[in-house]
Amino acid sequence: MSAPIRLYYWPTPNGWKITIMLEELGVPYDVEYVNILKGDQFGEDFLKISPNNRMPAIVDPDGPGGAPISIFESGAILQYLGRKFGRFYPRDERPRVEVEQWLFWQVGGLGPMAGQAHHFLRYAPEKIPYAAERYVRECRRLYGVMERRLADRDFLAGDYSIADMAAFGWAVSHEWHDVSFDAFPKVKAWFERVGAREAVKRGLAVGAEERDKTRAIADDEEARRHLFGIDSRREKAAPGD
């Protein structure tokens, strides 16, 4: 039996992608929490694994050729695990391209847009209506894209795949980016279908006790500074200070 994969993790939409995938695969893994509220993501040892100071990241002790490999970026991790274990990521080119299109749609679209909506709706030190409306509107457009895609299929790329795992984590937080599933019934049915999977439930449960801390960062000076570079003391200082 291979040594466990080491997962560097915090319970966020990007982190959930990987716990869900690992639970779906049923492979052993150990979790090392990267407390992004306390600045763990800037630690020297973590930066050697994830130079972009973002989690999740993994270290697979049984990488290509039997040598350890570290991987950062959630999309790249999903692809690596899909290739290694031969599940949820097709080997044939046509279905693989279908999965990759929707995976990249999430990592380049839904995730960043929802993240910006969260910031301007929940965390920004000053309200900027234009910014909030711009990102919420784009989130709703992206859910409309998904709604049309799911009109004649159960999952984004045909069979259940890493594309669904990637999008699901962000859909969990749909209310936080001011999206109602009432306007997207196909997305709602997909969300319920994916969420009913036992592996998905287990993946979401990893570190669940820490999730409320993440949601409460609007009132946490240290967390805001680590996550957004926001220092209220500097913002309130007189010009020239």
CATH of the domain at 116: 1.20.1050.10
Residue 145 counted as domain residue? yes
**Quick one: 82 and 146 in the same domain?**
no
**Quick one: 104 and 138 in the same domain?**
yes
**Quick one: 47 and 22 in the same domain?**
yes
- Strands 57-60 and 69-72 come out as antiparallel
pLDDT of 238 higher than 70: no
Residue 213 counted as domain residue? no
- Which of 116, 122, 78, 132 has its CA nearest to residue 214? 122
In order, the DSSP letters of 184-195 are -HHHHHHHHHHH
pLDDT band at 197 (very low <50, low <70, confident <90, very high): very high
- How many C-beta atoms lie closer than 10 Å to residue 227's C-beta? 17
Residue 172 counted as domain residue? yes
Residue 124 counted as domain residue? yes
In the chain, how many domains are there?
2
Beta carbons within 8 Å of 206's beta carbon, 6+ residues apart? 9, 11, 15, 16, 19, 31
**Quick one: 124 and 152 in the same domain?**
yes
The answer to whether 111 touches 54, Cβ cutoff 8 Å, is no
Distance of alpha carbon 59 from alpha carbon 203, whole angstroms: 18
pLDDT of 232 higher than 50: no
Residue 78 counted as domain residue? yes
Look at residue 33 in the predicted model and tell me its pLDDT: 95
Look at residue 53 in the predicted model and tell me its pLDDT: 92
**Quick one: 84 and 97 in the same domain?**
no
What percent of the chain shows pLDDT beyond 90?
A: 80
pTM: 0.88
Distance of alpha carbon 184 from alpha carbon 181, whole angstroms: 5
Task: Summarize the confidence of residues 75-97 as an average pLDDT.
Answer: 98
Q: Which domain holds residue 36?
A: 5-88
**Quick one: 160 and 186 in the same domain?**
yes
Residue 54 counted as domain residue? yes
What percent of the chain shows pLDDT beyond 70?
A: 87
Residue 206 counted as domain residue? no
Q: What is the pLDDT of residues 22-68, one digit of tens each?
A: 999 999 999 999 998 888 899 999 999 999 999 999 999 999 999 99
Beta carbons within 8 Å of 204's beta carbon, 6+ residues apart? 11, 16, 19, 20, 172
CATH (domain of 15): 3.40.30.10
Look at residue 171 in the predicted model and tell me its pLDDT: 98
Task: Summarize the confidence of residues 101-117 as an average pLDDT.
Answer: 97
